[in-house]
Amino acid sequence: MKKNKLLRAMSLSDDKYVDEANPALKTKNKAAAKRKLFIALAATLAVLTSLSLWLFIPFKDANADVTQYADSEYYEIIQKLHPLTYRAPRYKNNFEKYVGRALSNIFGAKVESSIEDAGAAENLYVPNYSDSYGGSNGSDPESSTTTGTNTSNNQGYQEVTDNQVEGVIEADLIKRTDTHIFYLDVGATSLRSFSIDGENSKGVGYYDLRSNMPDDFQAHNKTEFYLSLDGKSITLILQHHENDTKRPLVYVQKIDVSDPVNMKFVNGFCISGALNSTRMTNGKLLVLTSFYPKTDFSKPENFVPSIGDTQETMEALPVENLYVPSDVTNATYTVITRLDANTLEHKDSYSLLSYASGAYVSADTIYTWRGLTDKEDLGDGVENNVSKSEIVGVSYKDPTMSLLGSIKVDGTIKDQYSLDQYNGILRVVTTVNENKYQTEKRYGDTVSSLRLERIQNASLYCVDLSTWQTVASVERFAPEGETVRSVRFDGNSAYVCTAVQVTDPVFFFDLSDINNITYTDTGTISGFSTSLIDFADGYLLGIGVGAGGYLKIEVYEEIDGKVVSVCKYEPPKTMYSNDYKSYYIDRENGLIGLGTYTYDPYYQSKYIDEYTVLSFKDRALTEEIRVELDGNPTMKRGVYVDGYFYMFGYNDFKVERLDIKK
């Protein structure tokens, strides 16, 4: 046995040495090694080639050419939108996107490129606008019918909001009937109802705004509502966003409040875009939104405003409902949607491309405007830039809304109170801006500009609406350098406050004869008014700031063609809201109410949230009420009813006795 094992071991050892001495076998082993090396090198090269292709092949940009949409009914609009919304990819390829970005993060190096991300087709085009939307007008409420019994005798609509135009109502955070007050507590995301019972008043009902809304809904600061004439239904105006793209979306909801203790959802309607403003008149609900298109033209809903009963059923407006000016300067639409105020049934829509600055609504026409700049080459590298506003009018009286006309005026329009339609004439007040620049090219295509001259002033224009031509004007009537701070029209009169920093004159215009417009002013006084209000017995009320930048309320009167100060109220270190709808204006009883907050270094939070009520009698302003009330001054509301003043804030409610002596 041992001998056999020894022989086998010797045999294996001999075979090993024989194999090692065999040249053919050595060659075979070397070839195998080379094959392995080649395979490894080929695999490495393939990986490097693939990586290079992935890094350096240019991104495809499907939106660079829009001729593929030539058969679309919206092709004309696509051609107008494309130059304004197209953004080439930020990075040319993945090398710039990832390696360049990494180098930038590590070393602070910047990989230069004029191109945006390849996914830009999914981005929204949002122009850089200041939010100049104001919003209101007012008058007799619409008739409304709502099913259900009136178990609480909730009847008799009583107007609380100081509407701008008679016959047109504006939405607000507060409305009331004879028996109940409804307050929209935006901070608490709730609609609340309160009994009107003096010191015994209390909250009786609650409706959660998140009901019948997407799970991630949060109340927007433009959330408002209307109350029907019979006091039985509320129309909520809510803003949220689309589920997928997160673009702004307006929800209009009808709420049954025939029983204020148990408020119930009825139905709703959806409109694409951000809320601009709303009006209600003669059974019509007008909703104005600003729609920002996507840069993807594959579906009309991406770049055309849409409407529908629900978000899932929304459809793009037909092309005949879209107005496209010849010179499109921005890609934002102003969308006007008209609904039946009682049922929220869609009646008509009209959209204006390139308009988004604001809106004023008269008894029969919606006016909106856009800002433009006229540039004139004066030679020798000098350019003159003049700000302009183009105003368009859209009639909403007929079954189908229609464009009436347009006109350009010099200057920028502050808000809807800067316009007024009266006896066939549209009156407009603007801030005029004119700048001269010296331009020269430096460093290749880089252009440097030096402002040589700046002109800033105020102008008044009168436009004949039968011809849409300017028939009268008073140009640059203010001291040089002043801007328009507030405007109020009252029949044949107009009041304009202009200011530089914290000094202002208030101008009075007599417009009874537009062929002979006369005006006078107060001269320079401290502070300026952010709101001018035609008040009790022909007085003019100004709410604004004093020389120190804090609240000042002043009363003026016009005597022998001159505007003079009667009295003023200036509490120390008190701030206020400049949103006109947050003020309670009671001309009959001479009352002014507004939310305020006062700086107090000894108070725990340094600021005291308050509500202040003033009375104007015997040519003097008197502080009647000043109580602590939680909340942002813009969101606070108040109302006087039968000897009591009711005040509402964030999760807060106060009632104070107030005897009015006339």
- pLDDT at position 93 is 64
Instruction: Give me the mean pLDDT over the 476-498 stretch.
Output: 95
3-state secondary structure 70-139: CCCCCHHHHHHHHHHHCCCEECCCHHHHHHHHHHHHHHCCCCCCCEECHHHHHCECCCCCCCCCCCCCCC
Could you give the CA distance from residue 186 to residue 516 in angstroms, rounded to a whole number?
48
> In this structure, what token pair is assigned to residue 121?
């087709």
Which helix (DSSP H) or strand (DSSP E) does residue 216 occupy?
A: none
Contact 499, 483 (CB under 8 A): yes
Per-residue pLDDT tens digits for 569-584: 999 999 999 999 999 9
Contact 390, 406 (CB under 8 A): yes
Q: Is 542 exposed, middle or buried (0-12, 13-18, 19+ CB in 10 A)?
A: buried
Contact 238, 255 (CB under 8 A): no
Per-residue pLDDT tens digits for 81-125: 988 877 666 666 666 666 665 655 554 444 333 333 333 333 343
- pLDDT at position 446 is 55
Q: Is 501 exposed, middle or buried (0-12, 13-18, 19+ CB in 10 A)?
A: exposed
Contact 378, 388 (CB under 8 A): no
Under the banding of pLDDT at 50, 70 and 90, the label for residue 139 is very low
Instruction: Give me the mean pLDDT over the 38-55 stretch.
Output: 76
**186-200, 432-446, 637-651 — which is least confidently predicted?**
432-446
Per-residue pLDDT tens digits for 19-29: 555 666 566 66
Residue whose C-alpha is closest to residue 469's, from 412, 414, 432, 426: 426
Three-state SS at 196: coil
| Confidence (pTM) | 0.81
- pLDDT at position 45 is 81
* Cα radius of gyration rounded to whole Å, the chain: 34
- pLDDT at position 33 is 74
